[in-house]
Amino acid sequence: MSDISLQDTSYEASMGDYFALLKPRVMSLVVFTALVGLLVAPAPVHPFIGFVGILCIAVGAGASGALNMWWDADIDARMKRTAGRPIPSGRVTPGEALGIGLALSGFATVLLALATNFLAAFLLAFTIVFYAVVYSMWLKRATPQNIVIGGAAGAFPPMIGWAVATGGIGIESILMFALIFVWTPPHFWALALFVKSDYGNAGVPMLTETHGRDATRKHIIIYTLLLVPVALGLGLTSIGGPIYMAVAVVMNAWFLKGAIDIWRRSDADCDADHHAVEISVFKVSLYYLFAHFLALLVEAALRLYGLGGW
């Protein structure tokens, strides 16, 4: 700032800074899984009501992201990955984030109830509370199991999408929930293995800090083994089919191989190749989830033409 003026020269938050509060990248995953949950459901939905339903789920997820950034601003400031977020970088005040988070939560939940049904709205409200209160405020700083239970928040969107279409809960929507729920821990711990020092600096009890990296590697393989029956079981339900099953077999084998590779490594191996295996398994875990939901979508599309399914 070279010129001196009496005007308030502090940074003026732009629309983009407020949008960044909603965690757009997380939101894109939420939109995708919720959309799949809605489209694979056996009940037809009017396209506009479906669109509003997905929008409400996305805004609700974004609102919980804003609440999380409000609560965790102190942690975020101490981690390299999150130091550039709107609050720690000073572009948005904590009060603004809290206001936006609460307002959007209310709008999204009420609009979802009016546009679709009360079960979907209840599930969305539950998800927001679970992420903002149970995960952010309660578990994240208290236990290394934080992401295991907190992962439930990220697992709800397909279940909400299903509820938008059917107004109910089914074995299919519960298994879609379980797929993301059990997938989250190995996905996140693979990340924690190569950004370990960051979480330590912020004082977040990640498994790598509290129980060591070898214990984390064991946890990854255990959760990946638990994930396999969930993924294959989903293929046996009414929304599965041969294409889903083929994708599930390949992706589970790939992810499981990655988990075994990680399990067999030592810290010396990690230092030698700068966590190349952990980084690649983390990427595989992203493909894993995307491929499963894409396969469900393909099965649903084929069903329209009398193909797909069992």
The encoded tokens of residue 57 equal 């789920």
CB of 48 to other proteins, least distance (A): 5
- Is 211 in contact with 196 (CB distance < 8 Å)? no
Exactly one of 38, 87, 111, 192 binds other proteins (CB under 8 A); that residue is 111
By rule CB under 8 A, what count of residues binds other proteins? 13
- Residue 12 contacts other proteins per CB under 8 A: yes
Task: Residue 246: count other Cβ atoms within 10 Å of its Cβ.
Answer: 12
CA angle 218, 213, 220 (to 5 degrees): 30
- Residue 114 contacts other proteins per CB under 8 A: yes
- Residue 2 contacts other proteins per CB under 8 A: no
Burial of 134 (0-12, 13-18, 19+ CB in 10 A): middle
Alpha-carbon span 192 to 198, nearest angstrom: 9
Q: Which is nearer to other proteins, 54 or 73 (CB)?
A: 54
Alpha-carbon span 226 to 15, nearest angstrom: 42
Site for other proteins in 202-261 (CB under 8 A): none
Closest CA relative to residue 61, chosen from 185, 157, 181? 157
Exactly one of 57, 66, 79, 115 binds other proteins (CB under 8 A); that residue is 115
The encoded tokens of residue 93 equal 């005040």
Exactly one of 2, 3, 4, 15 binds other proteins (CB under 8 A); that residue is 15
Closest CA relative to residue 114, chosen from 28, 53, 33? 53
Place of tokens 């894993």: 288
Exactly one of 1, 7, 25, 274 binds other proteins (CB under 8 A); that residue is 7
Q: Which is nearer to other proteins, 16 or 168 (CB)?
A: 16
Contact map string, positions 26 to 55, toward other proteins, x by CB under 8 A: --------------------x-xx--x--x
Q: Which is nearer to other proteins, 104 or 155 (CB)?
A: 104
Residues lying near other proteins in the complex (CB under 8 A):
7, 12-15, 46, 48-49, 52, 55, 111, 114-115
